[in-house]
Amino acid sequence: MTIPSILMSKGDDLLTKCILSIGGSDSWGGGGIATDLKSFDHFGFFGLTAITCLAVKDEKQGFSVLPIDQRAIEAQLKTIKEDVPLAAIKIGLLHQVETIQLVKEFCQHYQGKIPIVLDPVMAFKEGEVNYQGQYLSSLLDLISKVDLITPNLHEAELLSGQKLGKGLDDFIHLAKTIYEKTSTPTFLKGRDHLSSTEAIDVLYSKEGARIYRLSHLPSKTLNGAGCCLSSAATAALACPYPLEEALTLAKSFTHQAIASGIELSKDSGNVYHPCPVPFQNVK
């Protein structure tokens, strides 16, 4: 699928084309706000940021998350709220319970007016950082106030309080459980859990279940894939595409980003989408 471009003409109002990414900064450039900004750009939107934490290398664990002072996070959100009208909001890793509360209060101003998408980051393939307890309960409260969530399998188990079975019906049931618990459309990312040849995901919403299938890419360039999908879905909803079509575009966009990813080491790499607009040769 060719990803549509709504790149702005000179007559467009830039201030109606801004999407805010609230989340962590990944020093490797794979996930978090780095990937969000690239995705927004491909759909013709200008990305703004509010950084909540920093993902860095840790010699002992391999990966760790450093917090940012709550006053700094609050100041970033206040700057955006006072100065810039938004087309959409994408929320990623919040890291601290206090940050969830700040973001919930911030989003109340936009609820029902623009798309708000939450990637409920609570576990990482790169390390042993996990978020449960009070963080989980606070996050569930925030989830009930957004328009779409995009959990991976482990996050879905935490949100639902259930373990995933092996079949497609179990997969759908997990997404349905979260939807019934939060009343928020849930796009459950399955990767290759159900098939070695297909990447199968499911959306559960008030219309019921819809299955999304694409060929599975046996690639090492997967860092940022979840962020890529959720930020692309945010931008597609802001275009505005209907939910099911927005997720079709987002899945295709992420599939392409994995296929054109950049290997950073022999074991891993980042998703990547080359710039869609050719540069003019300087004479």
CATH number at residue 193: 3.40.1190.20
| pLDDT mean over 254-261 | 91
More confident: 158 or 276: 158
Tell me which residue of 147, 146, 170, 143 sits closest to 241, measured CA to CA.
Answer: 147
The answer to the question of residue 6 being in a domain is: no
> Which domain covers residue 124, as residue numbers?
14-270
The answer to the question of residue 87 being in a domain is: yes
The answer to the question of residue 105 being in a domain is: yes
What confidence category does residue 129 fall into, taking pLDDT thresholds of 50, 70 and 90?
low
| Main-chain phi, psi angles of 105, to 5 degrees | -65, -40
Would you call 73 helix, strand, or coil by DSSP? helix
The answer to the question of residue 208 being in a domain is: yes
pLDDT of residue 11: 42
Q: State the chain's mean pLDDT as an integer.
A: 88
When mean pLDDT is compared across 42-51, 125-134, 163-172, the lowest value belongs to: 125-134
When mean pLDDT is compared across 30-34, 36-40, 166-170, 266-270, the lowest value belongs to: 266-270
The answer to whether residues 251 and 245 touch, using CB atoms and an 8 Å cutoff, is no
Which tokens sit at 108? 């109340």
| Residue 212 reports pLDDT greater than 80 | yes
What confidence category does residue 7 fall into, taking pLDDT thresholds of 50, 70 and 90?
very low
Tell me which residue of 214, 210, 248 sits closest to 232, measured CA to CA.
Answer: 248
Whether omega for the bond prior to residue 240 falls within 30 degrees of 0, making it cis, is yes
Would you call 233 helix, strand, or coil by DSSP? helix
The answer to the question of residue 5 being in a domain is: no
| Residue 10 reports pLDDT greater than 80 | no
| Main-chain phi, psi angles of 209, to 5 degrees | -100, 140
The answer to the question of residue 78 being in a domain is: yes
Give Cα 195 to chain centroid, integer Å.
23
Distance CA 275, CA 38 (A): 9
Q: At a CB cut-off of 8 Å and minimum separation 6, what does 158 contact?
A: 122, 123, 132, 136
The answer to the question of residue 103 being in a domain is: yes
**Most confidently predicted of 2-6, 146-150, 190-194:** 146-150
Say what the alpha-carbon torsion angle 96, 115, 4, 40 is, to the nearest 10 degrees. -30
Which tokens sit at 24? 């962590």
User: How many structural domains are present in the chain?
Assistant: 1
What confidence category does residue 230 fall into, taking pLDDT thresholds of 50, 70 and 90?
very high
| Residue 23 reports pLDDT greater than 90 | yes
| pLDDT mean over 205-226 | 91
pLDDT tens, position by position, 57-100: 777 666 788 999 999 999 999 999 988 899 999 999 999 999 99
> What Rg value do the Cα atoms of the chain yield, rounded?
18
CB neighbours (10 Å) of residue 205?
A: 19
The answer to the question of residue 277 being in a domain is: no
Tell me which residue of 62, 66, 57, 61 sits closest to 28, measured CA to CA.
Answer: 57
What is the 8-class DSSP label of residue 123?
B
